[in-house]
Structure 1
Amino acid sequence: MNASSISPHMTLAFAQTYEKTATRITGPIAHSVLQRLGAIGRGTRLLDIGAGSGALAIPAAHSGARVTAVDIAPGMVELLNDRLKPFPDADAFVMDGQALDFDDGAFDIAVSILGVSLFQDWRRGLAEQIRVVRPGGIVALATWRTLPGGGPFLLMARAMRAVFPDRPAPPAPEGFVALSDPLRMERALLDSGLHEVRVEEIEAEWKGVAGPAYLDALRDLHGYMPSYRALQPEERMQVEEAIQSLVDEHAVNGQITLTTRAVVAIGSKA
């Protein structure tokens, strides 16, 4: 396979861009999940599935947990292994969350932040997440309440609708439809054999600079968004003008805060 055939989302360049721009929205969600997990300390075996740039894995490692992080993207894993170097009990591996290469019951806690709900086979991903947790262990998931998610992704979607109102939005993944509603999320976890399931909606904020600096800071990330990548140059200019208008509407004292909602679920394995 040559370099040109590799998905740009698998590269280190994307991982670095994501870390600078998007971890600001996954970070608050990960923080909320860690708060709800309770005591995570030295020796806790924690698996982070779809770990991305480490919004959950890194603070969990700071707590002393023995962190194993997996992601399908080699670029994310390369970046995350670098960030986890200070922690001797933390590692990251390239792995498909739908086919985890771990023994049954290998972990005390398994978490997936915005991962399982986007898998091609979310039921298989959830079953794998549960399988690798010991009896009495904890399974935690989080997903967006509505697509396309939060922060700059939300602003891009609004701008695209403003410029191209007749273009249909991409279809939602099946897992998102199943898990983005709190009642459906609870039922899915109970049907998978978990008990003591707790599901709640939370708010998460993405903060950034306003004015023209917003586009300067986010342009690299925009280049990885499929809807934007597919545009012609003149169409991109229209979308950027719409984004700038939205930024100006939300700006307060030179900053912009974008609030979105997520669904967080935690259950115990029997």
Structure 2
Amino acid sequence: MNAPDASPDPDRELKERHRKLWALGDYGAVAGEVIPRLGAALVTEAGIGPGNYVLDVAAGTGNAAIPAAAAGASVVAVDLTPELLQAGRESAGSGVDLEWIEGDAENLPFEDGTFDAVISCVGVMFTPDHARSAAELSRVCRPGGTVALLNWTPEGFIGEMFGIMRSYQPAPPPGTASPPLWGSEEYVGALLDGLVDGLSTQRATVTVDRFTEPDHFRDFFKANYGPTMGVYRGLDGDPERTAALDRELSGLAERHARPTDAGIEMDWEYLLLRGTGRGGT
């Protein structure tokens, strides 16, 4: 089977909204200042090194693609949002084997079994159709290759944050699943059943020490994180609900925070998973 035809996408309007959402703010600042260690953790788990041909799906600004290339692999970073890819190009610099391609995780522009490893760091979890994305991850990985993902858990900090934000938004379009479900062992096991062999999972946390106080976290995400910015824009003209969301996001950070000499630190939980690809589906 070859790569899917470039036929019109019936979800084009939804995808365009996703592009615009992730182009808001400065996701590079979120990835680079708040969670800079996550991509390297995924690369280590995937066992990526010299000679590997790697695809980073929903790569954003290259949080995993750049350390994969630094480990000696030849890497392709694919993302739906060109603004994120451009920011990644600029931060990666020269001297690494890294290609940036605009593309949809639900319809990857590559032939079956192309890559030795297919990875995604808090990226593919945000696609609307989880089953289509999961099938694509498997399809483009060579038989015996590695599929490795790092996703926020529903019970962790980011899962809680999305639960809060969801209550301030209209209902999502039919068929759109909640992103943190990719961090549930049971859910992702069923999602990848028949697509990836020998799936192993482990939960871990990343310690975030970027913020001085809970309100600092809230204001940083209001100014830089596309999904949070989108929720606030949807509340434009409703000061009471805006103030309520302010309180809930600050309260979330306060519940998770530990004081430090420089401010606060929080542990954000994620699920790390790895399996063996079956190749084209």
TM-score, length-scaled by structure 1: 0.78
Stretch deviating more after TM superposition (81-90 or 244-253): 244-253
Aligned to 2:41: 32
Give me the whole-angstrom Cα distance separating, in 2, the residues matched to 1:260 and 1:55. 16
Alignment of 1:203-222 (within 5 A): 203-211=205-213, 214=217, 217-221=220-224
Query: Contact between 2:28 and 2:87, CA under 8 Å: does it hold in 1?
Result: no
Query: Contact between 2:52 and 2:116, CA under 8 Å: does it hold in 1?
Result: yes
Alignment of 1:44-83 (within 5 A): 44-83=52-91
Aligned to 2:259: 252
Give me the whole-angstrom Cα distance separating, in 2, the residues matched to 1:21 and 1:71. 17
Aligned to 2:198: 196
How far the C-alpha of 1:198 sits from its partner, in A, is 0.7
Give me the whole-angstrom Cα distance separating, in 2, the residues matched to 1:90 and 1:190. 31
Instruction: Pick 1 or 2: higher relative contact order, CA cutoff 8 A, min separation 6.
Output: 2
Aligned to 1:266: 274
Alignment of 1:1-270 (within 5 A): 8-11=20-23, 14=25, 17-24=26-33, 26-38=35-47, 40-146=48-154, 150=158, 173-174=176-177, 176=179, 179-192=182-195, 194-211=196-213, 214=217, 217-221=220-224, 225=228, 226-231=230-235, 232=237, 234-235=239-240, 236-237=242-243, 239-240=245-246, 243-244=249-250, 250=257, 252-253=259-260, 254-270=262-278
Give me the whole-angstrom Cα distance separating, in 1, the residues matched to 2:113 and 2:211. 44
For the aligned residue pairs, the C-alpha RMSD in angstroms reads 3.3
Query: Contact between 2:78 and 2:103, CA under 8 Å: does it hold in 1?
Result: yes
**Poorly superposed stretches of 4+, deviation over 6 Å:** none
Give me the whole-angstrom Cα distance separating, in 1, the residues matched to 2:226 and 2:193. 39
Amino acid at match of 2:105: G
TM-score, length-scaled by structure 2: 0.75
How far the C-alpha of 1:242 sits from its partner, in A, is 5.5
Number of matched pairs = 254
SS of residue in 1 equivalent to 2:192 = helix
Percent identical among aligned pairs is 24
Amino acid at match of 2:147: V
Per-residue CA deviation, residues 86-106 of structure 1 (Å, 9 max, x unaligned), is 134211111001111112221
Structure 1: gaps spanning 5 or more residues: none
Structure 2: gaps spanning 5 or more residues: 1-15
Stretch deviating more after TM superposition (41-50 or 236-245): 236-245
- Aligned in 2, Cα 1:175/1:128: closer, same or farther, shift over 3 Å? farther
